[in-house]
Amino acid sequence: MIRVEVALPGERSYPVVIGAGALAEAGQHAGERPFCVSELTVFEAHAGLLPPLFATQVVPSGEAAKEWETLEATLSSMAFERLDRRSVVLLFGGGAVLDVGGLAASLYMRGIRAVSCPTTLLAMVDASVGGKTAINIAGGKNLVGTFHQPVAVLADTRTLATLPDSEWRSGLGEVVKTALVDGDELLARVERDARALAQRELGSIDELIAACVRAKARVVAADPHESGPRKALNLGHTFAHALEKVAGFGAIPHGVAVACGLTLALAASERAGLLEDRTLTARVDALLRSLGLPRSLGELRMQHGALPPRELLEAMKLDKKARDAQPKFVLPRRAGALQLDVELDSTLLLELLA
């Protein structure tokens, strides 16, 4: 088992436990009457790994969970079960369950404790750490949410055994993003392991998850509420969120959209004259190809239809990072060095999105 500490200045820190058996620690964090938020696929396959539960709220699978209705139903269920300020919520699922369940935990009685128990690769390397919670609204992805740090993260890799290949690949998209944000060492490591990762044949995934969590924890500790350096973690995401919105939430797995967002961010960086390491574009292209991830909008369009450039542009104007309808981008200079808050003019954006 690997333990990583997320140390937050001025707030409590919390452990991230990674490995087969991590959920054995759930009991010690869960209190006497743990309330679980999960989804059917995950709960049916893996509920046996959890401690005895007081009550469970089953939400829709995947992105469909991140809706007002689910949030409301979860809050009502919390009240019905008479949860109080001592109660603990176990969030058991992928990033979608963590996002909506975490939001419910942060709102109920102005905030009760949550333990994140991620069950997808994406949620283990990214969504479970950092305390962002969210639902989607018609206006855009993750437009409604809070910051609510979990009291612990238990990434039990036994749950990954049932994860479909498509969702595994999606997780690898966030792994590549994390590596690009963190720097050359992690990127080289992902490149070295790419073939085994794509085939799901890496002896153990624990060390790579831990490396990604350490990378994210460093950024989150420096800027818990995303007023500065944490924005780096949004690399590729302004593009990705627009793609997800225009395709219809849930149609493109998040990490797949992020992978495409990374190539668009690299292209934008090159066009804006910001890209210092000219080898990076070819490196990322080769890496995404060996991981089975899309490397261009063209590839994504073959599966998901037109994704019209003007609709994508309009979606970006409503992104959370936009100011006065002017989207802001995180663009790579080189691995580990990013330019934050870049504005790109609409003509350039439409060319990139063509």
Ligand X SMILES: NC(=O)c1ccc[n+]([C@@H]2O[C@H](COP(=O)([O-])OP(=O)(O)OC[C@H]3O[C@@H](n4cnc5c(N)ncnc54)[C@H](O)[C@@H]3O)[C@@H](O)[C@H]2O)c1
Q: Give the Cα separation of 289 and 286 in Å (integer).
A: 5
- Nearer Cβ to ligand X, position 124 or 284? 124
Least distance to ligand X, CB of residue 22, Å:
13
Largest separation between any pair of C-alpha atoms in the chain: 58
42 sits near ligand X (criterion: CB under 6 A): yes
Q: Which amino acid is at 67?
A: E
| Three-state DSSP class for residue 63 | helix
Identity of the amino acid at 64? A
Residue 165 CA to residue 109 CA, distance in Å, equals 39
Q: Which of 36, 103, 122, 232: binder of ligand X (CB under 6 A)?
A: 122
Asked whether position 127 contacts ligand X by CB under 6 A, the answer is yes
3-state secondary structure of 191: helix
Q: DSSP alpha helices (H): ranges in the chain?
A: 26-30, 40-46, 68-80, 95-107, 121-122, 165-182, 184-198, 206-222, 237-247, 254-271, 280-291, 297-304, 309-317, 346-352
11-19, 36-44, 74-82, 195-203 -> range binding ligand X (CB under 6 A)? 36-44
Single-letter residue type at 3: R
Amino acid identity at 219: V
Q: Which of the stretches 56-64, 272-280, 283-291, 343-351 binds ligand X when contact is defined by CB under 6 A?
A: 56-64
Interface with ligand X, residue 39, by CB under 6 A: yes
User: Is position 269 an interface residue for ligand X (rule: CB under 6 A)?
Assistant: no
- Region of 121-129, 175-183, 279-287, 299-307 interacting with ligand X (CB under 6 A): 121-129
Closest C-alpha to 334, from 270, 291, 251, 271: 270
Q: Does residue 119 touch ligand X according to CB under 6 A?
A: yes
In order of 139, 210, 306, the CA distances from 317 in angstroms are 10, 35, 19
Q: Report, in Å, the least distance between residue 99 CB and ligand X.
A: 5
* Closest distance of CB 351 from ligand X, Å: 27
As measured in angstroms, the least distance from the Cβ of 153 to ligand X is: 11
Applying CB under 6 A, does 327 fall inside the site for ligand X? no
> Which residues from 136-155 bind ligand X, rule CB under 6 A?
142
Stretch 157-216 residues interacting with ligand X (CB under 6 A):
159, 162-163, 167, 170
Q: Is 42 exposed, middle or buried (0-12, 13-18, 19+ CB in 10 A)?
A: buried
Judged by CB under 6 A, the stretch of 23-31, 104-112, 116-124, 189-197 that binds ligand X is 116-124
Q: How far is the CB of 97 from ligand X (least distance, A)?
A: 6
> 62 to 101, contacts with ligand X by CB under 6 A?
62-63, 66, 93-97, 99
* Residue 241, token pair as written in the block: 């969120």
What is the end-to-end Cα distance of the chain in Å, rounded? 46
38 binds ligand X (CB under 6 A): no
Residues that bind ligand X (CB under 6 A): 39, 41-42, 45, 61-63, 66, 93-97, 99, 119-120, 122-123, 126-127, 130, 132, 142, 159, 162-163, 167, 170, 254-255
